[in-house]
Structure formats: structure tokens, C-alpha cells
Amino acid sequence: MLSEFLEAREENRQRLFIIRTRFDSYHPEITTKESTPLDEASEERLYYEAIQRHKRDQTASYHEMLREIAAPLLPLGTTKEEQAKREELIQRLESIPVFFVSALAHEVFEGRWNVTRKQKIRLSEQFNDDLDQTGIPVLREYLNRIAEEYLAQNYYDDLEHRLEKEVDRVVQHFQRERRTLEAELAGAGDSVRALVGNVQQNVVPWIQSEVSQQTHEFRAEAAHGVQEVRSRLSQILALSERRLQDKTEKWVSYAWNSLKATARKGGSHTTCHGNHIDINQDICSVLVDDLILAWSCYRDYLIHKRIDSITDDFVAQLRERLLQVAAQIHDPQAASAVEGIIRHLQSLGHTQRLALLRQVDAKIKELESIRQPAYEFVQQAMQGTYLRVSLECGTGCQSRMRAHMVKGFNENLPRIREYIRQKVEGAASELFDHCSDALENFGESATRKISESLTQVYEVAKLQDRTLIERRVRVLEGAVACLPAPSPD
């Protein structure tokens, strides 16, 4: 979980927090030497200061523990890029909140739990009969805030925004058709048809060439990024021998009972002294962790941010070109129709952009972690070795356990290396191909939808029957009146 927390993008990262339960069991002892004899409140003040100090010390201790666990997952910091990434990941760990709670005190103060008179007095002294000091209300508020943020950012706001855009498109369609018909009634149909022809001749071909050029540039950048990831992978696999040897030396130093428990639990075990052993992670830390920086840079910058920039720039340029074409129409009777057409075409471009970014985000989320599948494969590949180690017993079992562990690892290493190589190259190539195809589809879809919209406008502008036009205008006015006005872009 900690590795996924560090590796995930900001918007997809889990929300981790630490709960220190049964805080009512901590009672600082204040000596008479520390308190002021003439100050009756000094002992109480020192008592609460000691509690707050204990919370700060415990929080620092937890964060230090997390840094030690995550140390193999952090970049070494040999370059500026690695140093910046390392500092960012450390800040993520430092931001994990710690909550000190006493469910017992909370339930006693709420009257839902009975304790002895002596316990109740002690709880009252420690928490001052204050529900907030039990930590439960603060924790509840934090969890509610997380839930609200998740629903707002990932569900309610997104759903509301998408519904608004769908309704906006319907309203804009009706308004565009109504204004086009009104322009025809006012004798400005030629100006509207001229605008449609100009957009079809100049803007639509530009869409195809612009997206094609941007896709070509993206392919070149992303392909170079894929090559960098592959190069990083080759270097790591070539330089990993010594580090892997260090890992095997560490495994054979474990006591027989720790080694047996680790094997029985699939390669991961925490000893009674609090030392965490994870053989699967030891292997991944050599073969995968150094790749995370290259992979995350490729995923976040070369893919996500670059496509975001391309599509954002495209929508801005589309708007500018449409406004330039509209500026050539000087007929005041056609102004309203032209404005509606331009607004609708801009909305189509923006809608296509959002659809593309959703596709890219879904693919990135699917391929977000290369560490997790690598860890699972290592655990599966070593399962036979773990089984042999866990079944050893009797005289000399410690020596045989160590021999099984080293031999099994050496036998499985080529298969693990090959899997990681294929997984990393496959993930980078798959993301590259998917995003390249998505960009091409974006250009084709935007061109098709804008062309279809222009064709509809042109067909409406060709109507000659005045009675039919007036009847359709009244129907469209009624439809627009029943729907909310489009939201400003």
C-alpha cells in the first residue's frame, strides 16, 4: 500500500492516515518537583503539556518509521530530478496525519458504556470530560471531509458538469437552428451559408492537418521517452548483480524461525521485535524501484501533461480561427445566427477534448503501477521456494533453509528479470500506442462532428417555405424556453 501511495499520481493517490487507539492508557506522571507549589493549576497544565508532547513525539516516530519502510522505494537523489522527486515523496509521507483516539472515553462520556468509578475519574481527568479531546469527533470530521472531497471531485461535480454540458449542447443546437431560421426570414441566409462554406473550406482542413502535426510531434517525444525507459531498464538489469548478492547475504543472516515464518507467509513477515522482512520487496527494490522515476516521468509528463497541452492548445486555436472567419461576416441580420454557430462549434471541440482526456486518464489508471504486478509475480515465482523452506525441520534445518532460499532465488531470477522487462516495455509501449491512437481518433471525431454540424446548418439555411420556417421557429423557441440557459465557457 505504501508503495502504491508513493507511486500514484496526485489525483489518484490514496488517503492514508494513522490511528493510535486506546490513548486512554497513556498517563504522564508529573512529579512535585516539576509543578509550582503556589500555583494550583500548574500540575494540570504540565499534565496536558506532557500529553501534547507525547503526541508530537509519537507522530514524529510514526513518520520516521514510514520513512524507514519506504527508504528502498525512494530515488537515491544522485541527480536534481531524483532529488526533487525524493523530496516530494518524503513530503507525502510527512503529510500522513496521526489521530490519537480513545473509544472508551468517548463512549463513557456519551453514556453508552459503564466503567468503575475509579476509571471514570481517571478518564475525566485525562480528557477533561471533553468529547473532542477523545479524538473521535476529529477523526469523524476528517473521514467525512475525505468522503465529501471524493464525492465532489470524482462523482457529484463530474456528473453535474457532464450533465450540464449535455444539456448545453442540446440548447445550443436548438438556438443555432432557431437563429439560422430567423436569419433566413430576415434575408441573411446567404451570409450564413457563406460562413458555413468558409469554415468547411478553411477550418475543417486545418483541424485535420493540425491534429496530424501534433500527433506526429507527440509520437516523436513519447517514442523517445519509451526508449529512455528501456535504456534505464537495461542499465538496471546489468548493474543489479552486486545488489542482488547483498540481498541474498541479508536473507541468510536471518534466524531460522524468522526465515521459516517469512517463507510460511509468502515472503513477508514482521518479527516480534518489530523488524519487517519482505524478500519480495527486496527483489523488487533492485529490479523495479530504480525504474519508477523514469516510468512516472514518462506517464505523467510525456503522456498526460503533453496530451492535455496539445488538446488545450487545439481548442484555443479552433476558437481563434472560428472568430476570424466570423469577423468576415458583416451582415448585422446574420450576427445572431453566426454567433450561435460559432459557439456550438467551440462547444463541440471542447467536448471532444474532454472525451479524449477521459480516455487517456482511464488508460493511465489501468497502467498506473508497475511495481504491484512485479511484486505479485515475484511472490508467485518464489512460492515453491517458500514452500520448501517452510517445510524444513530438524537438525541442520537452518542451513538447509538458507540453501533452499538462495538456490530457489537464483533459479527464478532469469524468469523474474524477463517478466519485469516485458512488463515495463509492454506498459510503456501500450500507453504510447493507446494515446497515439486516441489523438488520431480525436482529430477524426472532431472533424466529423464539426462537419456534420455545418451540414445541418447549411440544410436549415436552404429552407424556402416561409410558413414552415415560422412554425419551426416557434417550436424551437418553446424547446429553448423549457431548458436552462447554456453555462458560460
What's the grid cell of residue 223?
Answer: 517514442
Count of positions (residues) in the chain: 489
Q: Distance (Å, rounded) from C-alpha 219 to C-alpha 294? A: 18
The CA-to-CA distance between both ends of the chain, in Å, stands at 40
Tell me if 417 sits within 8 A of 377, measured CB to CB.
no
Long-range (24+ apart) CB contacts under 8 A made by 447-450 are 447/204, 447/207, 447/208, 449/348, 449/352, 450/199, 450/203, 450/204, 450/207, 450/345, 450/348, 450/349
Whole-angstrom distance, CA of residue 341 vs CA of residue 453: 9
This prediction's pTM: 0.58
CB 442 within 8 A of CB 356: yes
The cell numbers describing 214, all together, are: 501534433
Comparing CA positions, the residue from 51, 52, 56, 63 lying closest to residue 18 is: 63
Q: Are 364 and 303 in contact (CB under 8 A)?
A: yes
Distance CA 398, CA 389 (A): 9
Query: 336: closest CA among 204, 485, 451, 344?
Result: 344
Which of 138, 66, 60 shows the shortest CA–CA distance to 102? 138
The pLDDT profile of the chain, 489 residues, written as one tens digit per residue, is: 666 666 666 555 567 788 888 877 777 666 555 555 545 566 667 777 777 888 888 888 888 877 776 776 666 666 777 777 777 777 878 888 888 888 888 888 887 877 788 778 777 777 777 788 888 888 888 888 877 777 766 655 555 556 666 666 666 666 666 666 655 655 656 777 777 788 788 888 888 888 888 888 888 888 888 888 888 888 777 777 778 888 888 888 888 888 889 999 998 887 776 677 888 888 887 888 767 777 777 877 777 788 888 888 888 888 888 778 777 777 666 666 677 777 777 777 777 887 888 888 878 777 777 878 888 899 999 999 999 999 888 888 889 998 999 999 899 988 988 888 888 888 888 888 888 888 888 888 888 887 887 777 767 656 555 566 566 666 666 666 665 665 555
pLDDT of 485 reads 60
Distance separating alpha carbons of residues 140 and 106, to the nearest angstrom: 12
At 53, which amino acid appears?
R
3-state secondary structure of 78: coil
Residue linked to cell 443555432: 176
Classify residue 79 by its DSSP letter: S
Reduced to 3 states (helix: H, G, I; strand: E, B; else coil), residue 98 is strand
Residues 439, 431: Cα–Cα separation, whole Å:
12
Q: How would you write 297-361 as a 3-class SS string? A: HHHHHHHHHHHHHHHHHHHHHHHHHHHHHHCCCCCHHHHHHHHHHHHHHHHHHHHHHHHHHHHHH
**Please, what is the angle between helix 466-481 and helix 157-185, to 10°?**
160
Report how far residue 264's alpha carbon sits from residue 317's, in angstroms, rounded to the nearest whole number.
61
Contacts of 387 (CB under 8 A, 6+ apart): 263
Q: What are phi and psi of 227, to 5 degrees?
A: -65, -35
pLDDT score recorded for residue 441? 85
